[in-house]
Chain A
Amino acid sequence: MKSRLSGNEAVAYAMKQVNPDVMGAFPITPSTEIAEYFAAYVANGEVNTEFVTVESEHSSMSVCIAAQAAGARSVCATSSCGLALMYELLYVAASCRLPITLACVNRALSGPININHDYSDSMGARDSGWIQIYAENNQEAYDNFIMAIPIGEAPEVRLPVMTCMDGFITSHAVENIELLDTGVVRQFVGEYSPQHYLLKKENPLAVGPYDISAYYMEHKVQEAEAMKAAKARILEVAKEFEKISGRRYGLFEEYRMEDADLALVIMGSSAGTGKTAVDKLREAGIKAGLVKIRVFRPFPGEELAQTLAGTRAVAVMDKSEGFSANGGPLFAETRSALYDLKQRPYLINIVYGLGGRDIKVEDFEQVFKRLASIAESGDIHPVYSHMGHRTKGAIA
């Protein structure tokens, strides 16, 4: 079914089609609308979810953890500081192996307070044990949310999944979208039937122990193994999803990478702008390409290295600062992934778009220009730099 929806409404609609058992809801810009749409579905009797309107994101995640442990399929949505407030519990959710689904509408973290897009919120949670899947547009945000459920709930995975979309750019822009039939979605996600849960009559369960050093490490290794297993599961679910939707997904998307010399590694909606720049350069005879990372956790390191192996120079575009003084988080992962290649491309990192700062096709053309010069000269300095900010002189 063709429709026109904002990213938030698309995700809320996916939630409605899933009809989860429990939703924890707390407002924060720009994800607020998801809870609002869902509240309307509840009020109109279109879902029979237990809708828990908590007093904070911390409680929202606490409700989801407890509900999922009790045997209920649980969802929530948040952004920015809301995700940061959940931080402690994100680890708890993952370590208890509870496949909660969270729609993260990415927004810059305070401070200073800013409501616009970058990835500082979910990048801060990248080591929490959650699977992270990023969308470029509304269609992907919708599709990713539906796929998240059978990914997270697979017995070999049992990890929570965060489906991310760009705040305002994706969440609030209305785009054409292809929606699946509700019956098809219900069948695709199936019933949540965990083996063990608190409300199981035959066998009481204890969740969340004090786990001393004699056991903690084994549990963490199991969690790490689950994250490794998630990669195959994500691809398996993508294959199944293609059958019902005709849309194809991988761990990342390769755009004109077949013979690319110069490439960008990027995430989210900026990839669309980057693709336009690639097209322009291709017209001019420059072998440009782009890799859009869709799955950040588990990180597709080996696959990405394969894809970038034939290139000469690559710019990793980070839309969040890591304050490591050594580049952003996507750069750290990408550079590490390339280490095992016999012949590596030159690699630079550009941090851009913080707090919603715009990036244009011309900006990407500049990046490619620099990559072309690096490919010639081999001079990669500065390896890590910022783009799109005013300099001291310009402000004066």
Chain B
Amino acid sequence: MSKVYNLKREVEKPPRLTGGHRLCAGCGAGVVVAGVLRALNKEDRAVVVNATGCVEVSTFMYPYTAYTDSFIHSAFENAAATCSGVEAAYKALQRRGKVNGVVKFITFAGDGGTYDIGFQSLSGAMERGHDMVYVCYDNEAYMNTGIQRSSSTPRFARTTTSPVGSAGQGKPQNKKDITEIMVAHHIPYVAQTAPLGNFKDLHIKSHKAIYTEGPCFLNILSPCPRGWDYPASKLAEITRLAVETCVWPLFEVEEGIWRLSYIPKKKLPVEEFLRPQGRFRHMFLKGNEWMIETAQAYVDEKWERLLERTGA
């Protein structure tokens, strides 16, 4: 990779996730996958692994694949173990002189496949130390099955299994902090990023994760127009607001050293992020002001802790 990031040059590379896949307009996951794969050096091969989910069913519907690299999907909860298997095969075959050249192993799974059902498989693969990158495209609910809550869904968000009614106000629990849990695995590289602006942050972190030896984890915010209930054209805007409100801070932990990647010039109030999204609509009803206050307090507390950790 050239030292200076240049979006124009990067997008001129042949895409490794090609057009014609079936993801929705305004979906964050597609640009996340394309963005991560763009960070591969042009000459290097990769095997892409998917958990069952939106990306998988939209990018490899028989007989068409959107990937130019080799690809494998086998189930929902085993993406990390699957990637482990491919990497183990590579090591074995390389040892026996049957394969050669650089091959990188990159897994994509949604938050359901990462925070919940695939959590054990992920933890096991990270602990074993396979040379792989695990990317969570975090859209904060089970979108592929029709917007059900996951342990990544933030508090108060409306989903089809945390609906809003006279006795329910969206999801009662806070979001699980998977990034921190991955840091606790003491793997070489963990980072949180988003498909923001010119994609520089996503690109640099992806490149680092792909070319750092050992297991690396990226948690990438992937807004979902269906689940979050925003117009397709607002993807970039929603992503920007998640970062500017510190709802989704950008940071990395390299060999145990925490580093903040971005500090907003003016930290925006959390309601700026909540307002454009239908899933939070009930928070703006009269009498529900406490919800916004609670959400703000939660974000503030997490942000302060992150500032402390990163020494920013």
Chain A residues close to B by CB (< 8 Å): 21-22, 24, 48-50, 52-56, 58-59, 62-72, 74, 88-89, 92, 96, 198-201, 204-212, 215
Known: A55-B120, A71-B99. 17 other contacts (CB 8 A): A22-B89, A50-B91, A53-B128, A54-B81, A54-B128, A58-B81, A58-B121, A63-B85, A66-B72, A66-B84, A70-B85, A71-B89, A204-B70, A204-B71, A206-B70, A207-B74, A209-B61
Q: B86 near A198 (CB under 8 angstroms)?
A: yes
> With the chains together, A46 CA to B62 CA distance in Å?
42
Q: Which 8 A-B pairs have the closest CB atoms?
A: A66-B85, A55-B124, A70-B89, A72-B89, A59-B81, A62-B81, A63-B85, A209-B62
Q: A210 near B61 (CB under 8 angstroms)?
A: yes
| Docked complex: B45-60 residues within 8 A CB-CB of A | 45, 47, 49, 56-57, 60
| Docked complex: B202-224 residues within 8 A CB-CB of A | none
Pick the contact of A66: B57, B65, B83, B93 (CB < 8 A): B83
Q: A49 near B92 (CB under 8 angstroms)?
A: yes
> With the chains together, A71 CA to B124 CA distance in Å?
23
Residues of A near B70 (CB, < 8 A) are 198-200, 204-206
CB-defined A-B contacts under 8 Å, sample of 25: A22-B85, A24-B85, A49-B92, A52-B85, A52-B128, A54-B128, A55-B120, A58-B81, A59-B81, A59-B120, A62-B81, A64-B85, A65-B74, A65-B82, A66-B84, A70-B47, A70-B72, A70-B89, A71-B98, A74-B85, A96-B74, A199-B70, A207-B74, A209-B63, A209-B65
Residues of A near B68 (CB, < 8 A) are 204
> With the chains together, A88 CA to B68 CA distance in Å?
28
Residues of B near A71 (CB, < 8 A) are 89, 93, 98-99
- B contact residues, total (Cβ < 8 Å): 46
> With the chains together, A74 CA to B82 CA distance in Å?
13
| Nearest CB in chain B to that of A214: its residue | B62
Q: A211 near B72 (CB under 8 angstroms)?
A: no
| Docked complex: B1-60 residues within 8 A CB-CB of A | 45, 47, 49, 56-57, 60
> With the chains together, A200 CA to B70 CA distance in Å?
9
> With the chains together, A258 CA to B45 CA distance in Å?
61
Q: Does B73 contact A (CB under 8 A)?
A: yes
| Nearest CB in chain B to that of A51: its residue | B88
CB distance from A126 to the nearest CB of B (A): 21
Residues of A near B75 (CB, < 8 A) are 62, 88-89, 92
CB distance from A125 to the nearest CB of B (A): 16
Residues of A near B95 (CB, < 8 A) are 48, 50
Q: B93 near A63 (CB under 8 angstroms)?
A: no
Q: B89 near A67 (CB under 8 angstroms)?
A: yes
Q: Does B69 contact A (CB under 8 A)?
A: yes
Q: A58 near B91 (CB under 8 angstroms)?
A: no
Q: Does B77 contact A (CB under 8 A)?
A: yes
Q: B121 near A62 (CB under 8 angstroms)?
A: yes
Residues of B near A89 (CB, < 8 A) are 74-75, 78
